[in-house]
Amino acid sequence: MNNFTKRTLTGAGFVIVMLGSAFLGQMVFSILFLLVFYLATLEFLGLIEKGGYSPARMPAVLVGLVLYGTLALNAMELLPSKWLLMNIPFLFLIFIVELWRNKPNPFVNIGLGLVSVLYIALPLGLTIFLFDSSFNSGVFHYGKLIGYLLILWMNDTGAYLVGSKIGKHRLFERISPKKSWEGTVGGVVLAAATAYGVSFLFPVLSPLTWVVLGVLIGVIGNLADLVESLLKRSLSVKDSGALLPGHGGILDRFDAVLISIPFVFVFLTLFS
């Protein structure tokens, strides 16, 4: 089986699982993302260790789990907002644990542990808020989330198709020799067009708001790819992992989600 076939089959299965869990509601989707959080965190910390650093794995996973869990439960209205404060002392556990580890570069290890929480647990937890808890089912419950996912995927598709056909001017050659300005613009245009179409499927936002959101997702989504490329290049690795045939690891598949969701969350909180 060639790489294109593997990539296509894996991508189709990924879309089915993501959309299926979204249609089934917040609880099912939050359980799926709990698994994503765990695998992505271990993958990230594993990459960091290959770079010669030694962040405390289990404390970072524990702190990330508490942050993700409290955010998800709050989004589902199962936990009062005041309980989000418990994340503050938990974050400082990463500092305290380092006292007993006797590893080189302790504050670098502390910083990298905190980065894993900020980079993975926080955005995945915020994703659960894209469901509207005021509704138990229907497009008003999951419309924003599915619309976001469709726009993100079409941005990636547009960037790949346009970039591979006519991409000549490099966007960030120092970081990613293949990513082009033409592909980036193509992705953003297709993201905006998809957002306009989504406004008719999921009228939870006005068409204008959807289109502005589409442009935001397109721009940040393309920059997110570069952020992960920067991570891999700094550690001299090609893929973050090999869990997803044809796609690499969990971080390779979710890089755009991790960086774009904080922007999307704030935009929707302020303007929807």
How large is the C-alpha radius of gyration of the chain?
Answer: 19
pLDDT of residue 239 exceeding 90, the answer is no
Q: Residue 5 has what pLDDT? A: 64
**Tokens (6 digits) for 102:** 């006797």
What's the sign of the alpha-carbon dihedral 66, 69, 75, 76? negative
- Is a pLDDT exceeding 70 seen at residue 59? yes
Across the range 230-249, mean pLDDT stands at 72
Proportion of the chain in helix, strand, coil states, percent, rounded to 5: 80, 5, 20
pLDDT, tens only, 11-49: 788 889 999 999 999 999 999 999 999 999 999 999 999
30 in Cβ contact with 44 (< 8 Å): no
pLDDT at 10: 73
Higher pLDDT, 262 or 12: 262
Is residue 239 classed as helix, strand or coil in its secondary structure? coil
What is the structure's pLDDT at 172? 79
Which tens digit of pLDDT belongs to each residue from 81-117? 999 999 999 999 999 999 999 899 999 999 999 999 9
Q: Place 245 in a pLDDT band, splitting at 50, 70 and 90.
A: low
Residue 242 pLDDT class (50, 70, 90 cuts): low
What pLDDT is attached to residue 247? 56
- DSSP conformational letter for 244: B
pLDDT at 246: 53
Task: Locate 34 and state its tokens.
Answer: 């709990």
What value does the mean pLDDT take over residues 39-62?
94
- The structure's pTM equals 0.93
| Interatomic CA distance for residues 120 and 234, integer angstroms | 19
Q: What is the pLDDT of residue 72?
A: 97
Tell me the pLDDT tens digit for each residue of 68-82.
999 999 999 999 999
Alpha helices in 167-180 (DSSP H): none
Would you place residue 272 in the very low, low, confident or very high pLDDT band (cuts 50, 70, 90)? confident
pLDDT of residue 233: 84
Per-residue pLDDT tens for 109-159?
999 999 999 999 999 999 999 999 877 778 889 999 999 999 999 999 999
Distance CA 112, CA 89 (A): 18
Count CB atoms within 10 A of the CB of residue 128. 22
User: What residue type is assigned to position 58 of the chain?
Assistant: M
Could you report the per-residue pLDDT of 162-218, keeping only the tens digit for each?
Answer: 988 887 878 878 888 788 889 999 999 999 999 999 999 999 999 999 999 999 999
Instruction: List the one residue out of 166, 155, 164, 90 whose CA is nearest residue 122.
Output: 90
Phi, psi (deg, nearest 5) at residue 259: -90, -35
